[in-house]
Amino acid sequence: MKLVVNQVGKSFGTRTILKNVDLTVDSQEFICILGHSGCGKSTLLNMIAGYLLPDDGSIRVDGGEIKGPSKSRGMVFQDHALFPWMTIKDNIAFGPEVQKMPKVKAKETAMEFLKLVGLEQYANHYPGELSGGMKQRVGIARALASKPDILLMDEPFGALDVLTRETMRVELQKICSQLKPTILFVTHSISEAVYLADRVVVMKHGEIAEIFDVGIKHPRSSHSAGFGEMMSRIERVLMDEEHLELAQAKVGS
């Protein structure tokens, strides 16, 4: 599976969101897309999902152009979006059932992925009975249960507290080591990107500013050799322009 984003542009009215975006993602890669609010990272993810179409350029998977949503691309949002009237098991079984999997097999698949995220004992609970971190784990299990080729994650841990967020990073890394999916993960957090990704794509003003190969073996921590240095390199790319603007403002005042 190869994802190729070629010279993609997107505007909403007179506002340009993305311009001349090029990105190639290989099978089983974990890519983090990092940038400030409004840089276009979520728009890019939504176009890869097929929820939006590019105004310019193309997005292809194995040579086939993306023209709409597909079960081959699963999505996990910051808001887990679980059906509150369904049990946890039924929420996860929903996707496989929509794909015409027999109900018994869909339930078995749901339990398989609940075990993967460590929540099998909550199979018959409802979303309202779970914590935020547990709901997000269910959201990940639900996306994986449809067995997509590409998993798209739009700031999935953004609404969680710091400790839960740290736990979820570890859980996601464990899942990746077992299933080896292709993942594109949008985040604001430099440390999160360095902890998770094979490559970090830094976006600024609708363009890719730089791509970093992380090159640190898993399991990683903030104490891993090269972790702090990689964070600093990424931070410099994100902050250079802000510092320049501040300096220019001081000169002009």
- Residues 159-176 pLDDT 10s: 788 888 888 888 888 888
Percent of the chain with pLDDT over 70: 94
**What digits encode the pLDDT tens for the residues 193-210?**
999 999 999 999 999 999
Q: What is the pLDDT of residue 247?
A: 45
Domain with CATH 3.40.50.300 in the chain: 1-69+148-253
Q: What is the pLDDT of residue 184?
A: 97
- pLDDT band of residue 231 (cuts 50, 70, 90) is very high
pLDDT surpasses 60 at 251 = no
Mean pLDDT for all residues in the chain: 89
Q: What is the pLDDT of residue 161?
A: 84
Percent of the chain with pLDDT over 90: 61
- Is 219 in contact with 173 (CB distance < 8 Å)? yes
pLDDT surpasses 80 at 243 = no
Q: What is the pLDDT of residue 95?
A: 87
Q: What is the pLDDT of residue 241?
A: 57
**Helix, coil or strand: residue 156:** coil
Instruction: Return the top range by mean pLDDT from 128-137, 176-185, 189-198.
Output: 189-198
Nearest to 99, CA basis, from 66, 142, 137, 136: 142
- Domain 1-69+148-253 sits in which CATH superfamily? P-loop containing nucleotide triphosphate hydrolases (3.40.50.300)
pTM score of the predicted model: 0.89
pLDDT surpasses 70 at 106 = yes
Other beta carbons less than 10 A from residue 215's beta carbon: 9
Calculate mean pLDDT across residues 122-134: 92
pLDDT surpasses 80 at 217 = yes
pLDDT surpasses 70 at 242 = no
pLDDT top residue among 178 and 93: 93
The Cα–Cα gap between 56 and 247 comes to 35
